[in-house]
Structure 1
Amino acid sequence: MISVGIIGASGYTGAELLRICSKHPNFEVKTAVASTYAGTAISDVHVHLSPEFPEMLFEDKDSAPLSECEIIFTGLPHGASQKVIPEFLETAKLIVDLGADFRLKNAETYKQWYEEDHIVPELLDSASYGLPELFRDGLENSSLVAAPGCYPTAASLALAPFIRAGAIESDEIIVDAASGASGAGKNPQPNSLFCTIDENFAAYGLLSHRHTPEIEQALSTGSN
């Protein structure tokens, strides 16, 4: 069995990671890190996972046996993964980051869109973009994989065939996409509460969405 550690296991992404890993025939979840809930049963936070994790507790990162894990998944907000991942590059065979910290190859582009400096820019070029339909060759021997964002996944897979065929001009593309409220994360915000969003539809991030450079990067490098 392949030992797996999940950092950021209490959020929506973490819950899905736990669920998927529990069903994988070759994976064994060795530790689930969620510092806010350290010492709390996974089944108390993710009730639907009670059958899969009836007794396992969330752990704090500093005390969790992450150095013993062959694969580590991180499901953290942007800015957080880059502070954690370098610590485990030598011990883990593979790290998969589901956040945004290693998706962009250019540190200046990251700073422009995420409004903060990247603290390990030297790792950006070595991270593989986890969209196998367009970047399979770069994934085979990678030790750090950046899982793509939701809109970049949908837009890149839909547009790449047309760009490859020269059927559309890249400067005339409009991506009109919508996502559910879970994409905003688990922390409560006024604009994501049920009373605000029920039967409602709102535009956000027009001309300034952080997935814009990721889509541009994927289509410019993965469509040849």
Structure 2
Amino acid sequence: MADSAAPHDIGNSEAVAAPKNNAGAAHGAARIGIVGASGYTGAELLRLAAAHPSFDVVAVSGDTQAGAAVRDLYPSLAADYGDLRYCAYDPAIFVGLDVVFLGLPHMASAPVVADLYKRVGCVVDLGSDFRLVDAALYPQWYGAEHPLPELLGEIPYGLPELGREALRGAAGVAVPGCYPTAAALALAPFARGGFISTSGVVIDAASGVSGAGRAPKPATTFSTVDEDFVAYGLLDHRHTPEIEQATGCQVLFTPHLAPMVRGILATCYARPREGMTTDDALGVLADFYSDEPFVVIHRDAPHTKATLGANTCHLSARVDPRTGWLVVLSAIDNLVKGASGGAVQCANIALGLPETAGLPTTGLMP
């Protein structure tokens, strides 16, 4: 989710682990593996899987942590994964599993997808490798030709609220980035309904430092981030084409790093159809998401902390009659709805499980 000049990327995971001794798993449980399980998204996948009624984690990898116990790296997981250890990635460990999640850096997932696609029930990639349909965009935004362009478009984009049917029975899923998740859920109802001009849309979004991943970086140390607020990726952040693809809008996207651990707040500006009021805008959101269990619409401005630990997106909107702008605000937990929770939601759909299984909707307060 980030570039080298900026500190935001959900895919800075690394790892694979030995099979978990889970003799108490329910009959018929889905056998789960995680490649890149030592990063923050991998740890979040393990947390969510521990509460999932149908998931049995049998293999986790993390090359730089191979041999280490999960509980030593993440004591918060000790109660559920006391015997689990990371192992070096070997495709033979994962072939035949029901779902394999990939929590790897940008452009690192494709070789693993080549190993596992259609050799497991579903490969759910939390990285950027299969999000963009147009292969020509990868050299421009990621600095490399795509190694498997034939799979672009075949592996569906995994934002269920905007494209659920393509995920049913899918052999692979490309989980959106965290910023695109927040922005697309805010803007898509208005763009798809013809309620806004789709050109000249502006998105200012701020994220917590966990989006930069577990690996230490000079720009994300406590002494750098604390008491600071900074924009990065000016004019060229990698999520720009993904947001445009997901929303159908031309966007000017500016991400910011906020001095908090989790959360994204996206403030999106667009020119609405003439005569739109704030009540109209809130009605557009309420109608579009009326049957969605993970979307909350409220007149008050959303708080990132309201989403902490939950797979929810909180939305609100205003129309300013003075300037003529529509403002749509979106809050998510970047590690849950913006990454691992969204991935579990997609896996549930792909496997034919209840979509809400194992996914919390209540945030942690205070």
TM-score range normalised by the length of the shorter chain: over 0.9
State the SS of the aligned residue for 2:41.
helix
Distance between the aligned counterparts of 2:38 and 2:32, measured in 1?
16
Residue number among 108, 120, 128 corresponding to 2:148 in the alignment: 120
In 2, the alpha carbon distance for the partners of 1:199 and 1:80 equals 33
The equivalent residue for 1:160 is 188
Where does residue 12 of structure 1 map in the other structure?
A: 40
Give the match for residue 104 of structure 2.
76
The residue correspondences of 1:99-118 to structure 2 (distance < 5 A) are: 99-118=127-146
Q: Is the 8 A contact 2:37 2:43 kept in 1?
A: yes
How far apart are 1:167 and its partner, in Å? 2.2
2:174 matched to 1:146? Answer: yes
Q: 1:220 aligns with which of 225, 248, 264?
A: 248
What secondary structure is seen at the aligned counterpart in 2 of 1:76? coil
Q: 1:24 to 1:120 in 2, by over 3 A?
A: same
Which 4+ residue blocks in structure 1 deviate beyond 4 angstroms? none
1:33, 1:64 within 8 Å by CA — same for their partners in 2?
no
Of the two structures, which has the highest relative contact order with CA contacts closer than 8 Å and spacing of 6 or more? 2
Q: Alignment identity in percent?
A: 50
2:138 and 2:146 in contact (8 A); partners too: yes
Secondary structure of the structure 1 residue equivalent to 2:199? helix
- What TM-score do the two structures reach when normalised by structure 2? 0.59
Structure 2 CA distance, aligned partners of 1:209 and 1:18? 29
Structure 2: which amino acid aligns with 1:160? A
The alpha carbon displacement at 1:155 in A equals: 0.7
Q: Which amino acid aligns with 2:172?
A: L
CA distance in 1, matches of 2:200, 2:90: 49
Structure with bigger strand share is 2
Q: Distance in 1 between matches of 2:73 and 2:107?
A: 24
Cα distance change of structure 1 residues 84 and 131 upon mapping to structure 2, 3 Å threshold: same
Q: In structure 2, what is the Cα distance between the partners aligned to 1:68 and 1:132?
A: 25
Shift of 1:63: 7.3
Match of 1:189 among 197, 217, 235: 217
Instruction: Give the Å deviation of 1:166.
Output: 2.1
More helix by share: 1
Give, in angstroms, the shift of residue 191 of structure 1: 0.9
Query: Could you say what secondary structure the match of 1:177 adopts?
Result: strand
- Which of 188, 197, 201 lines up with 1:173 in the alignment? 201
SS in 2 for 1:25: coil
Q: Does structure 1 residue 41 correspond to structure 2 residue 55?
A: no
2:94 to 55, 63, 66: 66
Tell me the equivalent position of 1:132. 160
Distance 2:43 2:216 in 1: 17
Q: State the alpha-carbon separation in 2 of the partners of residues 136 and 2 from structure 1.
A: 20
Cα contact 2:33–2:60 (8 A) shared by 1:
yes
**3-state SS of 1:175 partner:** strand
How many residues of Structure 1 are paired with residues of Structure 2 in the alignment?
222
What CA deviation, in whole Å up to 9, does each residue of 1:96-154 have, x standing for no partner? 00011010011111221000111111111201100011111211131110000111111
Cα deviation digits, residues 147-184 of structure 1 (max 9, x gap): 00111111111011111232221112100100011111
TM-score under structure 1 normalisation? 0.95
**Tell me, which stretches of 5 or more residues in structure 2 are unaligned?**
1-28, 250-287, 289-366
Q: Report which of the two structures shows the higher radius of gyration computed on alpha carbons.
A: 2
Deviations 1:184-223, CA, capped at 9 Å, x for gaps: 11111111110000021000012111110001101129x9
